[in-house]
Amino acid sequence: MKDRQPVYVRGLGAYLPEKILTNADLEKIVDTSDEWITSRTGIKERRIAADDQYTSDLSAEAAKRALADGGLAAGDVDAIIVATVTPDMPFPSTAAFVQKKIGAHTCPCMGIEAGCSGVPYGCELASALLRQGPYRNILAISADKLTAITDWQDRLTCVLFGDGAAAFLLTCDAEGARGEILDIYIANDSSGVDALYLPGGGSRAPATEETVRNRLHFLKMNGQEVYKEAVKSMGQAVATILERNNLVPDQIKFFSPHQANLRIIDAMARQINVPLERFLTVLQWTGNNSSPSVGIALDDAVRAGRLQHGDLVVLVSFGAGLTSGTVLLRWIG
Ligand code: UT7
């Protein structure tokens, strides 16, 4: 917002694991088809982390790329935030493992559980810390190894997800900035708290033979409810951030939406009367990788040279909670 100290994106990094799982591969695992998955979601393939590759590994790769992009070293990092629903383990925080893996000093490390809205939530927390001081450079990472909590017997969910990470290196220093965060909006509508959840493994249903037998350690989703809420709340989040910045959709070069389903993105585009071409999509080859998805789509556009100096971009997320959030960004270059 204009009356607050500006926060800048100094570096951006994304990471997708190497292994590809195609729709044809899924046809061999569950009763599904490439035709169904493509027509219902737009997804053709997704990236799967290796068994010994954890959320902190995905995060560390994205973080190293963001640091290289911003021309800073791990020693320059003053705090690490990791937004994830698939931490390496309940504690210590995944950010602590990232600190070790990238070789950062003893800076504070913390986590956020915001479902697929990790990017706006992480950027909001990082921005508040940067404005408060004494931090100069903060890594706001969003990463998920969703395939670790995917039920490969549930065809309604297992065809959707993939793994990945995105890192934003944020600072209050205008020098060398690649983008400026103009505004962030985040929200949570708990009326949908039971539409998307992982029932087992927490304090409510600690792991027992029964929780394992009942498949409670896998993600559960009411697809149709989540679909409807996604269109509604992402539409509202976009409207809110545009309105409070006196902007109209035509002034936004690109929207980077949560990469859950091409039909959701198409419905959003029609809702705000913006051609689908102005919505960045990578889900065709990434699947829905949860918290990092809007960052991965942004990174893809940046690497492809699609953003010019001065372009406005809106990242818009939606996820378990039910969370939603937007980041309004001015690209610098
Ligand atoms: O990142 C978190 C946010 N997540 C989301 O945003 C996901 C939101 N939800 C969705 O994207 C969609 O609801 C899905 C892609 C999950 C499902 O699409 P849908 O159009 O809502 O399908 P549906 O649940 O209404 O199922 C339609 C039919 C059913 O068969 P009948 O009852 O009509 O005979 C399902 O059993 O499709 C069947 N079906 C499948 N068929 C082949 C469900 N999954 C599959 C499958 N392959 N994988």
Asked if 124 contacts 184 with a C-beta cutoff of 8 angstroms, the reply is: yes
The pLDDT of residue 1: 52
Which domains are delineated in the chain?
7-178 (3.40.47.10), 181-331 (3.40.47.10)
Give the mean pLDDT of 11-15.
Answer: 98
The pLDDT of residue 318: 98
Give the mean pLDDT of 118-135.
Answer: 97
CB half-sphere exposure, 197, CA atoms < 13 A: 15
The pLDDT of residue 4: 85
Mean residue pLDDT across the chain: 97
Determine if ligand 1 sits within 6 Å of the CB of residue 295.
no
Residues 6+ apart with CB under 8 A from 213: none
Give the mean pLDDT of 318-327.
Answer: 98
* Sign, CA torsion 6/7/12/14: negative
Catalytic residue among 123, 258, 261, 289: 258
The pLDDT of residue 73: 98
Res. 97 pLDDT band, cuts 50 70 90: very high
Overall pTM > 0.85: yes
- CA dist 18 and 46 (Å) reads 10
Residue 135 has pLDDT above 90, yes or no: yes
Residue 3 has pLDDT above 80, yes or no: no
Q: Which residue has the higher pLDDT, 3 or 239?
A: 239
Name the one residue in this structure whose structure tokens are 């993600």: 219
Give the mean pLDDT of 247-264.
Answer: 98
The pLDDT of residue 315: 98
Give the mean pLDDT of 167-192.
Answer: 97
* Sign, CA torsion 236/241/244/245: negative
* Ligand 1, atom 2, residue with closest C-alpha: 319
Whether omega before 134 lies within 30 degrees of 0, making that bond cis, reads yes
Q: Is 288 noted as a catalytic residue in this protein?
A: yes
Ligand 1 pocket test, pick from 35, 224, 234, 265 with the greatest ligand atom count within 8 Å of Cβ, gives: 224
Determine if ligand 1 sits within 6 Å of the CB of residue 197.
no
Give the mean pLDDT of 223-248.
Answer: 97
Q: Is 105 noted as a catalytic residue in this protein?
A: no
- R_g of the chain, CA atoms, integer Å: 19
* Ligand 1, atom 30, residue with closest C-alpha: 156
Residue 2 has pLDDT above 90, yes or no: no
Over pLDDT 90: what percentage of the chain?
A: 99
Ligand 1 pocket test, pick from 38, 116, 142, 156 with the greatest ligand atom count within 8 Å of Cβ, gives: 156
Give the mean pLDDT of 92-103.
Answer: 98
Give the mean pLDDT of 212-231.
Answer: 97
Task: Dump pLDDT digits (tens) for 28-69.
Answer: 999 999 999 999 999 999 999 999 999 999 999 999 999 999
* Ligand 1, atom 41, residue with closest C-alpha: 32
Catalytic residue among 23, 137, 188, 288: 288
**What phi, psi does 64 have (nearest 5°)?**
-65, -40
Would you tell me how many other CB atoms lie within 10 Å of the CB of residue 207?
A: 12
The pLDDT of residue 144: 98
Amino acid identity of residue 143, one-letter, is A
Catalytic residue among 23, 107, 109, 116: 116
* Ligand 1, atom 42, residue with closest C-alpha: 32
- CA dist 93 and 82 (Å) reads 8
Asked if 120 contacts 186 with a C-beta cutoff of 8 angstroms, the reply is: yes
